[in-house]
Amino acid sequence: MNTLNTKFDFESIAERYDRCNHLLSFGIDHLWRREVIQTLNPKIQQRVLDICTGTGDLAFAFLRHSHSKDVTGLDISKVMIGLAQEKQNRLASKPWIKNKNVRWQVADATKTGLESKSFDFITCAFGIRNIPDRTAVLKEMFRLLKPNGKLCVLEFSLPSNPLLRTIYRLYLNYIMPAAGKLLFGSKEPLKYLARSVHHWHTEVNFVREMSDSGFTLIRKVPLTGGIVTLWLAGK
């Protein structure tokens, strides 16, 4: 399996993680998450698991914009999960979060310890690209999904249009690292992002990896000109 050699410690930027996502995507990341929710459209009784949840943005979006009343956010980082819990405390008075079953769990995505066939939907937004052993994660996701359950993955990609791809690469390789210097005091977090996106797009056959883990691809949709791709797969 090809993996990205350089890893990055996301806990070191956890406090500024949300701000970075919103600023550098010009706020479009909210629309990408809404696309995931509209694609899955969970019903009241259906359970959602968000893997690599970070500070919980996608999990909270499900609570706010879908009918699901049972959402679990899972991440390997205690710091990220702590920030998600703090966010939930701040939002506790909001009507869309009251009477909802929200769980936060610190766990390795390759061995979550959760019950088999216990979720209707599993999501992963901008996280699977950073996991070295995707095969183990995909098999764990397959184990956790109920029969006929759905997996929805949102991940960065490179546009197919040559001109747009050139412009986007310039943004990834030069503008974003410079912004990282201002946001984090270091260019490294966003230089890592540029490397990981290029590696993911050019060296990873994610459709084959999903198929090898038992999933059937239902749909692959480029968003915002292809800078992000949504994969929908079924069990």
Domain boundary assignment for the chain: 10-234
What are 6's two structure tokens?
């350089």
- 87-96, 129-138, 176-185: least confident range: 176-185
Q: Which CATH architecture is the domain 10-234 placed in?
A: 3-Layer(aba) Sandwich (3.40)
Of 196, 198, 200, 221, the closest CA to residue 209 belongs to 200
Rounded to the nearest 5 degrees, what angle is found at the Cα of 136, between the Cα atoms of 135 and 137? 90
- Identity (one letter) of the amino acid at 70? D
Do residues 32 and 61 make contact, with C-beta atoms less than 8 angstroms apart? no
Long-range contacts formed by 215-220: CB under 8 A, 24+ apart: 215/138, 215/142, 215/151, 218/150, 219/39
Average pLDDT value for the chain: 89
Reply yes or no on whether the pLDDT at 159 is more than 70: yes
What are 223's two structure tokens?
């968003």
Q: Per-residue pLDDT tens for 117-145?
A: 999 999 999 999 988 899 999 999 999 99
The model's pTM is 0.90
DSSP state of 35: H
Would you state the pLDDT for residue 130? 86
User: CB-side exposure of 222: number of CA atoms within 13 Å?
Assistant: 10
CA distance 210 to 145: 14
Do residues 187 and 172 make contact, with C-beta atoms less than 8 angstroms apart? no
Q: Per-residue pLDDT tens for 23-78?
A: 566 778 899 999 999 999 999 999 999 999 999 999 999 999 999 999 999 999 99
